[in-house]
Amino acid sequence: MLVKINPETKVFGIIGFPLSHSLSPVMHNRAFEELGINAVYLYFPCREVGGVVAGMKSLSIKGLSVTIPHKEKICRYVDELDPIAKSIGAINTLVNKGEKVIGYNTDAYGAVMALKSRIEDLRAKKVLIIGAGGASRAIGFALKEEGAEISITNRTEQRGIALAKELKAQFYPFSDIRGDFDIIIQTTPLGMYPEIEKMPSVPDSIFEKKPVVMDIIYNPMETAFLKLAKKKGCETISGVDMFVYQGAKQFELWTGKQAPVSIMRETVISFLKGKNR
C-alpha cells in the first residue's frame, strides 16, 4: 500500500521503546485505506514521554497509541484522563482535541472482548494475571468490573504486591502460585518478537485444571507460553484478538467512524502468517 501524503493528511502513530514488535501501523493504515480516510500512522520510537503531549499539539498529531514502557508514566502529562483510564491508572491511547490531549485506555475493552469470545460470563471466574505493568492493571480492573476473582503473580514482588493491593486481589510469587484457575492471562513482554523463546518462570502446575490461557503478545501469534499451555491440554487465546479489539476502539476514538474490525484482523493475521513462512 502506498500512502499518498498531502497537506490535509492527518498524522497518527505509536510511541514506546522498542517498537520492532508492533504491527499497529500495518493494521491502522489498512483501516484508513479501507474507509478512504486521508491519514497515515507512523512509528515514533520514544524513550521519554515528558514532551509527547506538547509535541502532539505543536505538530498537529491527531492521535497516538502508547505501548511499553510508557502506559503508566504518560498519565501525568495529559490534559485530561477519561474516567476509565483514570480508574485504571494507565493509558494506551492519546486523542488530540486541539487545546487538550485526552488519555484513554482501550486495553481493558480489548481484553474483555477477547475473553468473551470464548467465555461469555466472566462472573466468579478465578483469573491469574501474570505481570504487573500497564496492561496488567487495565485487564485486572476490567475483569473486576466483570465480577471475576483476580490473583496476581509477578517476578518483581514489590510491584506485584502493590497492584494486588489496588485490585484487592491475592498476590503469589512465581515460586509459590497456589489455587485452581479458570483463566490465566500472560501480560509480560516475555516471548515477544524477536525474543520468541522466552516465557515467565511460572510452574507448570498452574495448567493442571486446564484453564483457558491467553497471552496478550500477538507477535508471534503463538508464543512459547501458549505452546506450553496447549501441550498441557489448555484452550488458548492469541494476543491477536485483544490487539485488534483495542485497536478498533482506538480507531473509533480518533475518527468517529466504525472500525473495519474484520479487515484489521485479516491484515494482522496475514502479515504474521507471511512473516513465519
SS3 of 127, please? strand
Residue 135 buriedness (CB in 10 A; 0-12 / 13-18 / 19+): buried
Please say if 71 is a catalytic residue.
Answer: yes
Measured CA distances, 32 to 64, 103, 173 (Å): 15, 22, 44
Cβ neighbors of 3 (< 8 A, separation 6 or more) are 9, 29, 33, 40
Options 71, 126, 210, 230, the catalytic residue? 71
Cβ neighbors of 167 (< 8 A, separation 6 or more) are 140, 141, 144, 150, 152
**C-alpha–C-alpha distance, residues 144 and 237, integer Å:** 20
Q: How many CB atoms lie within 10 A of CB 240?
A: 21
Catalytic residue numbers read 71
